[in-house]
Each structure stands twice: as structure tokens, then as C-alpha cells.
Amino acid sequence: MKYIHILLTITLGPIYWLINVIHTKTQQWYFSQKKKDIIIWYLFTPFYWILVIITFIISVPYEFIIAQTSKLH
């Protein structure tokens, strides 16, 4: 079981990292648009929240796997 957790951690790590980088960059841009152009901000809001949901769906299981793997040591 320990090896399955380690394998999942290694496999999902790059995906987790990539989605979090995309989310962070998008979040910075998205929040800056509220002051610059409110129309773009409103138009992009559904896409931003879809990205937040995708990030949540990927992050929670990955962080749970990391927590379980650290308990195995």
C-alpha cells in the first residue's frame, strides 16, 4: 500500500503543480481586472470559477494522498 501511495504522489505531482501554477497566474490576472475593466472581470468570472473547481478537485485528493503517505513513514 505504501508503494501505491508513493506512485500516486509521483504521478499526480506534476499535474498538481501545473494546475496550481495556472490557477495562481489566472487568479492574479482575474483580481487585477476588477479595477481595470469590470466588464472583462464579469465575463471571465464563470471561467475563473470553473478553474477553481478543477483546482479543488485535483488538490484535495493529492494532498490527502501526501498526508497518508507521510503517516506511513
What is the per-residue pLDDT across 25-51, written as a single tens digit (0 to 9) for each? Answer: 999 999 999 999 999 999 999 999 999
Residue-level pLDDT at 6: 81
Whether 72 has a pLDDT exceeding 70, the answer reads no
Question: What was the pLDDT predicted at 14?
Answer: 92
Q: Which three cell numbers stand for residue 73?
A: 513513514
**Cβ atoms 8, 65 nearer than 8 A:** yes
| Alpha-carbon span 58 to 20, nearest angstrom | 9
Query: Which residues lie below 8 Å from residue 64, measured CB to CB, with a gap of 6+?
Result: none
Does 73 or 27 have the greater pLDDT score? 27
List, in sequence order, every beta strand (DSSP E) within 3-65: none
The pLDDT value given to residue 44: 96
C-alpha cell of 2? 505504501
Closest CA to 47 of 18, 64, 22, 13: 22
- Of residues 64 and 26, more confidently modeled: 26
